[in-house]
Amino acid sequence: LIVLVKPQFEAGRENVGKGGIVRDPKTQQQAVDRVRDAVTALGVTTIDVIESPIQGAEGNREFLLYARY
């Protein structure tokens, strides 16, 4: 299972800057952790998380979570 984690949709409005950009690395990591926790709660094991080699619009950082049932 490969999940595209888009922090701008996971971080909450208060953490998303102008243009929908999450610039704070700590907030980006919290978004990844939130998705990882949700996947784990479903009984899925996270194997790895990497930064997407393709940047989102306006330089948004996105992440790929690799997991296995």
The encoded tokens of residue 35 equal 């998705």
Residue 55: which domain range? 2-68
Domains in the chain: how many in total? Answer: 1
Is the pTM value of this prediction over 0.95?
Answer: no
The string of pLDDT tens digits covering residues 22-69 is 999 999 999 999 999 999 999 999 999 999 999 876 788 999 999 999
Backbone Cα Rg of the chain? 12
> What is the residue type of 47?
I
Q: Angle 47-26-59 (CA atoms, 0-180°, nearest 5)?
A: 85
3-state SS, residue 34: helix
